[in-house]
């Protein structure tokens, strides 16, 4: 099987600090050996209603501003800063990517021409944004399907088919929660997505917001080609996503196990492998 690629979803775990963002890139690339470092881009005035922007953060202990809008603005990085993030990723040998939450952000990130752009579960029905990406961006478009009905899934895939871009589409099984209990991970949704869309899209992935790495490894024999996990330097840091993120050693072990278990998921190339032949000659007892 193809070895799945691992995305370190940094998101906004940089806390609005470019020095932390760079450290996250360097650690993900050099210590964890992840394939992709992914961030997020929002144009908050466009994304949020005035009521949402001016409302207090639902969890004030995690807020970086007096309102939810101020909190989001504090964490936001500019297009020039994303351009620098991409340069750092290239310098340290990891693919740069970003999730886009609105049309303006999609236009900005598409202008950087990354290998892939992610559409988060919250925004996968924003068809004007999807249309822009289909028409003006030539890379892979990855779409998470958390909090999405099966009818809506079909609408999304049919839209990409109509635009002639379904073979650039990667769908992710996902449960939108932070963190998600094991009984809510629902790994067999990956199987359902493969059966329904496997021949219609480029690949199926798994975006997890759970604890530990056992579920990610269990997703491998189900046929995922991408695994995405939130990544932080310290799970105790202030912010919503840190508690559902992997720290460096956790991400390192995930990448290691994904690559090793992927090698193990195979049939024997011949009935008696070379490694067995010496042992067979020495140990095998045949019928007399």
> Nearest CA to 184 among 192, 176, 172?
176
pLDDT on residue 225: 98
Q: What is the pLDDT of residues 54-96, one digit of tens each?
A: 999 888 888 898 899 999 999 999 999 999 999 999 999 999 9
pLDDT on residue 286: 86
pLDDT on residue 244: 86
Report the alpha-carbon distance of residue 223 to residue 206 in Å, rounded: 10
Q: What is the pLDDT of residues 259-277, one digit of tens each?
A: 999 999 999 999 999 999 9
Query: Is it the case that residue 253 has pLDDT exceeding 90?
Result: yes
pLDDT band at 159 (very low <50, low <70, confident <90, very high): very high
Query: Is it the case that residue 1 has pLDDT exceeding 80?
Result: no
Query: Is it the case that residue 288 has pLDDT exceeding 80?
Result: no
Backbone φ, ψ for residue 58 (5° rounding): -60, -20
Structure tokens at 184: 């809510």
Q: What is the pLDDT of residues 6-59, one digit of tens each?
A: 999 999 999 999 999 999 999 999 999 999 999 999 999 999 999 999 999 888
What mean pLDDT do residues 159-172 have? 98
What mean pLDDT do residues 221-231 have? 97
3-state secondary structure (DSSP) of residue 284: coil
pLDDT on residue 178: 85
**C-alpha angle 150-191-224 in degrees, rounded to nearest 5:** 110
Average pLDDT of the chain, as a whole number: 95
pLDDT band at 204 (very low <50, low <70, confident <90, very high): very high
Q: Which residues contact 195 (CB under 8 A, 6 or more apart)?
A: none
Which domains are delineated in the chain? 5-283 (3.20.20.70)
CB contact at 8 A, 75 and 94: no
How much is the pTM?
Answer: 0.95
pLDDT on residue 60: 83
3-state secondary structure (DSSP) of residue 226: strand
pLDDT band at 206 (very low <50, low <70, confident <90, very high): very high
pLDDT on residue 48: 92
């Amino acid at each position: 099987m193809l070895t799945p690629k691992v995305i370190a979803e940094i998101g906004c775990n940089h806390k609005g600090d470019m020095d932390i963002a760079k450290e996250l890139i360097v650690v993900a690339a050099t210590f964890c050996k992840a394939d992709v470092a992914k961030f997020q881009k929002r144009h908050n005035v466009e994304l949020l209603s005035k009521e949402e922007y001016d409302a207090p953060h639902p969890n004030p202990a995690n807020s970086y501003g007096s309102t939810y809008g101020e909190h989001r603005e504090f964490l936001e990085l500019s297009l020039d800063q994303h351009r620098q993030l991409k340069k750092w990723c290239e310098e340290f040998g990891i693919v740069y990517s970003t999730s886009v939450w609105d049309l303006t952000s999609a236009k900005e990130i598409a202008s950087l021409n990354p290998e892939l752009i992610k559409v988060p579960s919250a925004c996968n029905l924003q068809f004007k944004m999807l249309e822009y990406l289909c028409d003006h961006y030539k890379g892979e478009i990855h779409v998470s399907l958390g909090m999405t009905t099966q009818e809506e899934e079909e609408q999304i895939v049919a839209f990409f088919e109509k635009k002639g871009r379904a073979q650039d589409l990667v769908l992710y099984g996902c449960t939108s929660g932070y963190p998600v209990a094991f009984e809510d991970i629902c790994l067999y949704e990956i199987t359902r997505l493969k059966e329904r869309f496997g021949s219609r899209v480029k690949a199926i992935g798994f975006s997890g917001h759970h604890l530990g790495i056992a579920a990610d490894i269990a997703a491998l024999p189900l046929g995922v080609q991408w695994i995405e996990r939130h990544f932080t330097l310290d799970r105790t840091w202030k912010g919503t996503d840190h508690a559902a993120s992997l720290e460096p050693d956790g991400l390192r072990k995930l990448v290691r196990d994904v690559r090793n278990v992927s090698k193990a998921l195979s049939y024997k190339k011949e009935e008696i492998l070379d490694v067995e032949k010496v042992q067979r000659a020495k140990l095998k007892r045949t019928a007399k």
